[in-house]
């Protein structure tokens, strides 16, 4: 029986992409797979149902119908856990899971028995470059960020010499020279801006300069060690950040456009632009914050909003790649296709997964009901340990409450004792009174006899 690959319509807000393109669907069919796509799943990315049908895919009306008996479930953004009810145990669910932002979901998915593969965790090795969804999507985000800036910037980007006078070129600063940043630099340069860029990673300097931009950074000893083995930026010390901030404060006052792209996996986005910096910028300047969904690189950016603060327009659009859905979906679908080429035996159309493969091991979150990714499994164990440690004092608290309860009942005993004392006191008083009366009577009798 052939493998069934299922793709449903994305439900996340602002999501227009789809996990399979007509081209990738055609490839899966040629591998002997049965491809089922939910009706309308690709419309937002300009892929019609007929385009899927033409390459041999099947169209289902509901997500439940689409996912029934599926061996592989492909998605863009992690769907609601309720969708998992339609998947059989052991099915592969592959897409962008956002594991750092939603660790609880990892536990939920593990309990269902679904094998979850997170595309954000694809290792940064040459063999996996064709599967790297972060790079493919960030590349488009950097391009779109510059176009968003042009929409809100009320001057021209290139220098223009006319009979009426000369218009100077716009000055743009790109903060963070990763994949998104480098594409933003290239796009801004093509539009004619004078571009500068900053990054804490030493390797970025040569890349920035190769695109014709000026490199801005504090190049001290810490700067030379500021890159992880995976190519990501390290968290810098407070001392370095202060020196870098002073340099940026001086640079940013001269800029017309600032595009921020700095992200650190598993952590909130670092704040690169303070309110003080925004105040120092030119009237009419534009900031595009690509990190807004993880807290933002600008102190004044607001997720999902375009605001104007101190004369500066701050763009905080969400899900930038989805704003050019057709291109983004095409690249994303290709990334997934390249991964499935590693998981499926193309000759007979069956799964042939090497769980010890570096790529497979690096992206597998859950399997056989357990969290198997080393990083998140350790985090889960740590959470469980902390929970156990915290639960211990509760027993003491309960004992204290019992003790308190006993203390509260004590006054009743005291009242009884008090009543007993009062009764004893009364008896004593009565006895004393009777004794005194007898003595008085005896004295009177003695006196009478004497008379």
Residues belonging to the active site: 124, 129, 132, 135, 232
Q: What residue spans of 161-264 are helical by DSSP H?
A: 179-190, 203-210, 221-224, 238-252
CB 336 within 8 A of CB 20: yes
Is 119 buried (19+), middle (13-18) or exposed (0-12) by CB count in 10 A? Answer: buried
Sign of CA dihedral 243, 245, 246, 252: positive
CA distances from 220 to 249, 263, 327, 442 (A): 18, 22, 40, 114
Which among 287, 282, 260, 127 has a CA at the least distance from the CA of 198? 260
- Rounded Cα distance between 112 and 97, Å, is 15
Q: Which of 132, 395, 144, 138 is CA-nearest to residue 262?
A: 138
Q: Beta partners for 162? A: 165
CB–CB of 21/333 below 8 Å?
Answer: yes
Do 243 and 217 form a contact (C-beta atoms < 8 A)?
A: no
Q: How far apart are CA 229 and CA 232, in angstroms?
A: 7
How far is 155 from 103, CA to CA, in rounded Å? 45
- Identify the CA nearest to 39 among candidates 68, 7, 84, 79: 7
CA of 223: how far to CAs of 111, 157, 217, 220, 335, in Å? Answer: 44, 32, 9, 5, 33
Strands 306-309 and 34-38: unpaired
User: What DSSP string describes 189-210?
Assistant: HHTT-EEEEE-S-THHHHHHHH
What pairing do the DSSP bridges indicate for beta strands 34-38 and 58-60? parallel
Q: Report DSSP letters for 273-308, one per residue.
A: B-HHHHHHSPTT-EEEETTGGGT-SBTT--TT-EEE
């Amino acid at each position: 029986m052939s493998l069934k690959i299922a793709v449903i319509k994305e439900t996340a807000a602002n999501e227009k992409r789809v996990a399979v393109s007509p081209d990738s669907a055609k490839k899966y069919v040629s591998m002997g797979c049965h491809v089922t796509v939910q009706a309308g799943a690709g419309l937002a990315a300009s892929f019609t149902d007929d385009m899927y049908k033409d390459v041999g895919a099947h169209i289902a009306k509901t997500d439940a119908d689409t996912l029934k008996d599926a061996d592989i479930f492909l998605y863009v953004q992690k769907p609601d856990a309720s969708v998992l009810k339609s998947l059989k145990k052991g099915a592969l669910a592959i897409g962008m899971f956002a594991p750092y932002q939603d660790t609880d979901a990892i536990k939920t998915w593990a309990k269902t028995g679904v094998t979850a593969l997170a595309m954000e965790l694809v290792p940064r090795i040459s063999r996996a470059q064709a599967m790297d969804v972060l790079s493919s999507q960030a590349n488009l985000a950097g391009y779109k960020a510059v176009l968003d800036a042009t929409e809100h910037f009320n001057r021209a980007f290139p220098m223009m010499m006319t009979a009426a006078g000369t218009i100077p070129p716009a000055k743009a600063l790109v903060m963070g020279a990763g994949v998104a940043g480098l594409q933003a630099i290239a796009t801004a340069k093509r539009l004619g801006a004078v571009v500068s860029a900053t990054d804490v990673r030493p390797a970025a300097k040569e890349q920035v300069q190769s695109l014709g931009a000026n490199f801005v950074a504090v190049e001290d000893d810490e700067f030379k060690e500021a890159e992880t083995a995976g190519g990501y930026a390290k968290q810098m010390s407070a001392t370095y950040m202060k020196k870098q901030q002073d340099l940026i404060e001086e640079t940013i006052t001269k800029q017309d456009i600032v595009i921020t792209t700095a992200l650190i996996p598993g952590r909130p986005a670092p704040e690169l632009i303070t309110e003080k910096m925004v105040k120092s910028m030119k009237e009419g300047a534009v900031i595009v914050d690509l990190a807004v969904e993880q807290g933002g690189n600008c102190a004044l950016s607001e997720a999902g909003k375009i605001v104007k603060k101190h004369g500066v327009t701050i763009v905080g659009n969400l899900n930038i790649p989805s704003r050019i859905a057709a291109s983004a979906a095409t690249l994303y679908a290709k990334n997934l296709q390249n991964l499935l080429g590693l998981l499926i035996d193309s000759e007979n159309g069956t799964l042939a997964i090497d769980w010890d493969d570096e790529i497979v091991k690096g992206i597998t979150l859950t399997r056989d009901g357990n969290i198997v990714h080393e990083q998140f499994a350790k985090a889960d164990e740590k959470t469980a340990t902390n929970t156990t440690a915290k639960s211990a004092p509760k027993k003491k608290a309960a004992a204290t409450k019992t003790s308190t309860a006993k203390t509260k009942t004590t006054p009743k005993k005291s009242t009884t004792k008090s009543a007993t004392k009062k009764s004893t006191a009364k008896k004593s008083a009565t006895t004393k009174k009777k004794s005194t009366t007898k003595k008085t009577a005896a004295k009177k009798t003695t006196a009478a006899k004497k008379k």
